[in-house]
Copies of this chain bind each other. A is one copy, B any other.
């Protein structure tokens, strides 16, 4: 189990359907990175300078849309995840 720190969120990034351009299957490097995923784990929230804990808005299981190129790729137990700060999450898909 991974417990994120602060306002971090662990996301399982949604796999994109294979895209083809005129019948040609594009290799992954030629595709745009996915922007959606499912929240797997959340932190307890950021603690600000005056000691206030800012509660998280997203929760486990939420489908989310996040800023392109944000976050850090991590590998855990052979699977790839993305860790982003909640401030990089654009919207909850509900």
Contacts and interface: CB of A to CB of B under 8 A. Distances in A.
Contact of A5 (B6, B49, B57, B75): B57
A86 B76 CA distance: 20
Interface residues of A, number: 36
Interface string A77-94: 000000100110111111
A50 interface: yes
A57 B3 CA distance: 11
Contacts of A89: 5
A45 to B, nearest CB: 10
Across the A-B interface, the 5 shortest Cβ-Cβ residue pairs: A48-B49, A51-B52, A2-B91, A3-B92, A4-B91
